[in-house]
Amino acid sequence: MELAVRLVRNGAKLIGANPDLTDKLGKDFAPAAGALIAPIELASGTKAFFVGKPNPIIMRHGRKLLGCERQNTAIVGDRMDTDIIAGIHSDIDIVLVLSGVTSEEDLKHFSYHPSYVLSGVGDIPG
């Protein structure tokens, strides 16, 4: 970590996969990419550029690779703070599955909402 901070302070770009702070492991949680990059951000005074969700660049690139139009695309995710924000920033339909990090109770704490809420990915139609 010390080396990473030094490199960033000397001009290296700080790039992360996503800002997720935790990942769900069964009933427990573990630190995720955002939690691991945060100390480097704090110590270097540099904010990371995240190439994955919620960055809409990754969504546009994926749609381009798959040949999908925006109006025929949806994101399915379990995190309000990255997956759902990615859908909002990409102007596509959003499916929140409650089988991961976010619970139905958690939805009350957000001013934004997904297009659809399902119990899990097994409930996605056809």
Residue 19 three-state SS: coil
Does residue 115 carry a pLDDT above 90?
Answer: yes
Ordered structural domains, the chain, with CATH: 2-50 (3.40.50.1000), 71-121 (no CATH)
Stretch 90-94: mean pLDDT, rounded? 95
User: What percent of the chain clears pLDDT 90, i.e. is strictly above it?
Assistant: 86
CA distance linking residue 13 with residue 3, whole number of Å: 13
Above pLDDT 70, what percent of the chain?
100
Q: What is the pTM of this model?
A: 0.79
| Residue of 117, 48, 125 lying closest to 84 (CA atoms) | 117
Task: Provide the pLDDT confidence category of residue 23 given band limits of 50, 70 and 90.
Answer: confident
pLDDT tens digit string along 28-54? 889 999 999 999 999 999 999 999 988
What are the angstrom distances between the C-alpha of 19 and each of 64, 86, 89, 123? Answer: 24, 12, 15, 27
Does position 104 have pLDDT exceeding 90, yes or no? yes
